[in-house]
Every structure is written in structure tokens, then in C-alpha cells.
Amino acid sequence: MSTNGSAVRGFSLIELVMVMAVAGTVLAIAVPALNAVSDATKLSAAAQQLEREVQTARLKAVANNAPLRLRTNCPSAGYFRIVELLGTASDTPATRCNTSTYPWPASDNDLSTLPNFDGPVRLLSNDATVSTASLEFRPDGTAWDTSSGTAVTITTPITITVTRKGATKTITVNNLGKILLQ
């Protein structure tokens, strides 16, 4: 009580130090959990980015009545690109991933010369990496494995793995062109 009869209100130094200690402990526990959530969110975003590009390749193949290929690690690790099937010896990853030889957008607008539907080279976001894959989507929406250089029927679903900081997400594609992000 003060000398005039009213109570003195406030916190003592000990109470303030105790509150700061509790707050510091809660913060020390929360920061690693928030970092883990952030890492998982970044991995999911990268996997969704690639899954959307796989979906886009399939949809563009059907819409344009042209076989398209999606290549990962094209031209180098962490990049991917949709390219139109030319049916020539230059349909190799080294050639088709070269943006000097096959720029985007195409240097001509003539629909009678190929390629017409190549996409840009894209970088997988958030420092994620991806397994090497090469898929071909046909105008009927079916998917083919072209990792050997020639299109072969997919007998078991192809798995594309996206990795970030040791965690992974997978994208599977079956022969009917069904794409599933897990």
C-alpha cells in the first residue's frame, strides 16, 4: 500500500524474469517445429509444380493432337521441359533440352515445321531435386516410357521422385496417363 491508501500495482523483477524464461522455452520448442513445417511445405510446392507440368504435357498432347515428351533433369539437374516429338535422330535429351538449338518460343511461326509445342526450360522450385525421367504422352492421353530413347509401353507405373532435405514425394504415371502425386 502506498502512503495515500491505494495499492501499488505492477510486476516484480522476479515475475518478469519468469515470464521471459517461459516464453523463451516455448519459442525454443516452436522454432524447430515451424522449420519442419516450412520444409514440408516447400517440398510439397516443388512436387506440385512438377505434377502440374506432367498434367500440362498430357493435356497439350491431347489438345494439339501431337505427341509430347516431358523430360526431367533437362538440360541439367533440377530442370524440366516439355518437348514435341520430332521423330528424328535429334529427339535426344541432349539435343532437345538445348535452348540454343530449340528455343522457346520457337523461332518460326510456321505450323508445318516442327517443333511447335515445345515449352520453356523450368527450374524446380525450393532447391528440390528430381529423379531422371522421360515420358511421352500421345494424343489419346496414354503415357509411354521414353527413358531408353524409344517409346515403350509402361507395364508398371513410372515413379518420379522429388527430394528436398532428405524428404521425398513421388509422382506416378501409369500407361493410361493417370498422374498421381503422393
Domains of the chain: 13-181 (3.55.40.10)
pLDDT of residue 108: 78
Cα→Cα distances 85→46, 90, 137, 139, 148, Å: 26, 10, 10, 11, 15
Q: Phi and psi (nearest 5°) for 45?
A: -65, -40
Q: Going residue by residue through the chain, which has 182 residues, state the pLDDT in tens, using 9 for 90 and above.
A: 555 666 778 888 898 999 999 988 888 887 777 777 788 999 999 999 999 999 999 999 999 999 999 999 999 999 999 999 988 888 888 889 888 888 888 877 777 778 889 999 999 999 999 999 999 999 999 999 999 888 999 999 999 999 999 999 999 999 999 999 99
pTM value?
A: 0.81
Query: Residue 93: is the preceding peptide bond cis (ω within 30°)?
Result: no
For residue 87, the SS3 value is: coil
Distance CA 174, CA 144 (A): 8
**The three three-digit cell numbers of residue 165, written as one number:** 532435405
CB distance 130 to 80 below 8 Å: yes
Q: Look up residue 48 and give its DSSP letter.
A: H
Q: Which residues of 12-49 are buried (b: 16+ CB within 10 A; e: fewer)?
A: eeeeeeeeeeeeeeeeeeeeeeeeeeeeeebbbebbeb
Q: Of the candidates 55, 70, 49, 86, which has an alpha carbon nearest to the alpha carbon of residue 135?
A: 70
